[in-house]
Amino acid sequence: MADFEEIKIPKNKIPHFSKRKTVTTLIIVVVAIFFFTGLYTVDPEEVGVIQRFGKYVDTTQPGLHFKIPFGIDTLTKVKVKHVYKEEFGFRTLQPGVKSTYSTRGYDLESLMLTGDLNIADVEWIVQYRIKDPIKYLFHIRNIEETIRDLSESVTREVVGDRSSDEVIVLSRKDIADQIQTGLQQNLDDYGSGIEIYTINLQNVNPPDPVKPAFNDVNSAKQEKERIVNEAWQNYNQIIPEAKGKAKRTIEEAEGYAIDRVNRANGDAERFVQIYNQYKNAKSVTKKRLYLETMQKILPKLDKVYIVDDDLKGLLPLLDLQKGGEK
């Protein structure tokens, strides 16, 4: 019988864990899970809403906080300082210096009937922020869809009360303010916790088939405004100048009238005084008046002749002063 060689196979040693080490390891794992699932951070523009078994219990401010882990407390972060935006009538695919817009048509939400039974293509933006995170999370199920539905409803109501000229050209700022007021009122009535930041009417145009006719009308209106402005400019130049000349003429006439009246009063007063003197001394007053008159007349004459009463001879007056000057 053949001999067989004995082969020895080493036995694998199974590691032995002590009960103490196992408990320690489990405790460390549980503590790590406790802290890693319980600690959370709220960013500066956010607040944290804590729910315990689905019920709201607290609102935490920005910073590091702790909540009960293992799904007992759940955290929802709400950006209360972020401004959200909803676009109507268009969609922005990529904002920037050269923004890219969707080529898909959104006529169902942008075409509206105006008060004068015309159609306007209205594109607008609603910007809002969350002012009450509790109402925002728990009062309305789908807040974005609610904002869009309410905004479209209010906009159609406001546009339907205005003429096409007011909507497209004249009263866009007033319409935007009215939409903002109405939309905010409806959201407050729903308890949405939303504050409308602003309403911007981006583009308000007539539908494409009537754009050429509308452009012609606008060109005619602009030409009319230009002519009216030029007329007012000429009016503002000519009328004030004419009024100034008229006022100056009136003032000159009034001044002339006052001067003539004052001179007439002075002459009358002087005549009365001379008459009183003449009554008291007729001969002296008569000679004085004669001499004063001759003193005014003789210097204006080139030649003077003295004639006696009987006209027996002519004697030229020698003007010594005039000869002296020569």
Can you tell me which residue has the tokens 């009238």? 257
Task: Give yes or no: residues 67 and 146 share one domain.
Answer: no
Task: Give yes or no: residues 157 and 251 share one domain.
Answer: no
Can you spell out the DSSP letters for 192-205?
A: --EEEEEEEEEEEE
Task: Give yes or no: residues 108 and 193 share one domain.
Answer: yes
In a domain, 5, yes or no: no
Of 206, 240, 255, which marks where a domain is finished?
Answer: 206
Task: Give yes or no: residues 273 and 217 share one domain.
Answer: yes
Q: Which domain holds residue 304?
A: 281-325
Per-residue pLDDT of the chain (326 residues; tens, 9 = 90+): 455 455 555 555 545 556 677 777 777 776 777 777 788 889 999 999 999 998 999 999 999 888 888 788 899 999 999 999 999 988 887 776 666 777 677 888 888 888 888 888 899 999 999 999 999 999 998 999 999 999 999 999 999 998 888 888 788 899 999 999 999 999 999 999 999 999 998 888 887 777 777 777 778 888 888 899 999 988 888 888 888 889 999 999 999 999 999 989 888 888 888 778 777 777 877 788 888 888 888 787 777 666 666 655 555 555 555 554 44
**pTM for the whole thing?**
0.58
* SS3 call for 97: coil
In a domain, 15, yes or no: no
Can you tell me which residue has the tokens 């204006």? 300
Task: Give yes or no: residues 175 and 223 share one domain.
Answer: no
In a domain, 240, yes or no: yes
Task: Give yes or no: residues 89 and 190 share one domain.
Answer: yes
What does the buried/exposed string (b/e) look like for 161-185 if buried means 16 or more CB atoms within 10 Å of the residue's CB?
A: ebbbbbbbeeebeebbebbbebbbe
How many domains are contained in the chain? 4
CATH no. for residue 161?
3.30.479.30
Task: Give yes or no: residues 69 and 136 share one domain.
Answer: no
In a domain, 10, yes or no: no
Task: Give yes or no: residues 74 and 100 share one domain.
Answer: no
Task: Give yes or no: residues 120 and 174 share one domain.
Answer: yes
Provide the 8-state DSSP code for 319: -
Enumerate helices (H) and strands (E) in the chain, giving the number of each. 9, 13
